[in-house]
Structure 1
């Protein structure tokens, strides 16, 4: 079966009672009261650029890629949201500017755009969460754009520092890093090999372990 574009409802569709991150603990009951849990198979589109923004999502498990014109913009981790930035009004019709696709088997909490809009207006903590998510993602993307002209070594260093929580997951491939920093997979492999020789990183199987973050930080200045 081709899993691309396949979204599978989990049994009962009931969201977990425990939030994926501590950040969501104070608002989780409000969110799951109206939310549905969706399970995505590997390489499954949650939504595509240009589709109407009918839902807002929060990642529960697994990882999703945000892409536009085949460019990898960001990798969404558990506890992070997708789609809420487009909610200007409860009845507004807007489209997703990017596509979201699961990297591995993933689960998300789905809220209708109308419900998410109402929650943002009635619950200050919900509003703060979605605003913080938007600001963090915009800040990351703006920095990515600002370092586009820097050498690949610097761009890879930035990715490793910003996404260090992802490095323990073997589904984050060298190809994905290359897409994120706008270079080739071969260049990323060479860059990581140089970092290993300099004892900046080491490997545990396919996992990357940072052992000299201060050196990477200097490359990002």
Structure 2
């Protein structure tokens, strides 16, 4: 982790940042005064499960996965996040410890807002509260939908859904139709609730049928509808 010089361009210049979209301009100076900017390399933890909560994070640039551990060395991939999105919100409340970990998938820059300042922003900005309420509701909806899918859909369907989530969150190159960032086979397996071996076999099958294009570790999506139609 590397701390970078705090500049207005990192967060305020990012018009995707929910803080600047949902807080009144009179609060910008407070944010600028207390925010800190950190850089993380691929594989570095932004915060760890069980760590004391000391604030919220906003992704300036980069790609992040949020995971929870269970059992012996097992992990569940809960969420993918990118530019302008919040991290650390699951630590809000009385527990004051992060129940999940956040790991950088690529070189990532985040802005950190101390807990005390974030709480002040919440109390004074109804728009921010409303945004977070909707965000939590949507996150819960996705979590419940994913839980149902684990029991009610085939492995192939779940793997297809994981690829589509990868596409929806991180995007695709228009010319080549390759994902701008492809999750590792292990992360796809984790997200799909299946094994690494099943992912490798299924991706090979999808590739042979022309549903996806494999180029090394990268995945291309020539026909999104075909992926959506997997049963």
Give TM-score, length-normalised by structure 2: 0.78
Tell me the SS of whatever aligns to 1:163: helix
Q: Quote the Cα distance in structure 2 between the aligned partners of 1:199 and 1:22.
A: 38
- Displacement after TM superposition at 1:133 (Å): 2.9
Quote the residue 1:213 is aligned against: 224
Q: 1:163 to 1:132 in 2, by over 3 A?
A: farther
Quote the residue 1:99 is aligned against: 101
Quote the residue 2:88 is aligned against: 83
- Displacement after TM superposition at 1:93 (Å): 5.0
Q: Quote the Cα distance in structure 1 between the aligned partners of 2:216 and 2:20.
A: 34
After TM superposition, the structure 1 = structure 2 runs for residues 33-52 of structure 1, keeping only pairs within 5 Å, are 33=32, 34-52=34-52
Q: Quote the Cα distance in structure 1 between the aligned partners of 2:46 and 2:96.
A: 16
Quote the residue 1:71 is aligned against: 76
Q: Quote the Cα distance in structure 2 between the aligned partners of 1:125 and 1:47.
A: 27
Q: Quote the Cα distance in structure 2 between the aligned partners of 1:47 and 1:103.
A: 14
Quote the residue 1:198 is aligned against: 209
Aligned residues: 210
Quote the residue 1:110 is aligned against: 112
Quote the residue 2:2 is aligned against: 8
Alignment gaps of 5+ in structure 1:
1-6
Quote the residue 2:189 is aligned against: 178
- Displacement after TM superposition at 1:110 (Å): 0.6
Q: Quote the Cα distance in structure 2 between the aligned partners of 1:160 and 1:207.
A: 11
Per-residue CA shift, 1:54-102, capped at 9, x if unaligned? 11111112222211112222222222211224434xxx45211111121
Tell me the SS of whatever aligns to 1:13: coil
CA RMSD of aligned residues (A): 2.6
Alignment gaps of 5+ in structure 2:
70-74, 173-178
Kept in 2, the 8 Å contact 1:20–1:78? The answer is no
- Displacement after TM superposition at 1:23 (Å): 5.9
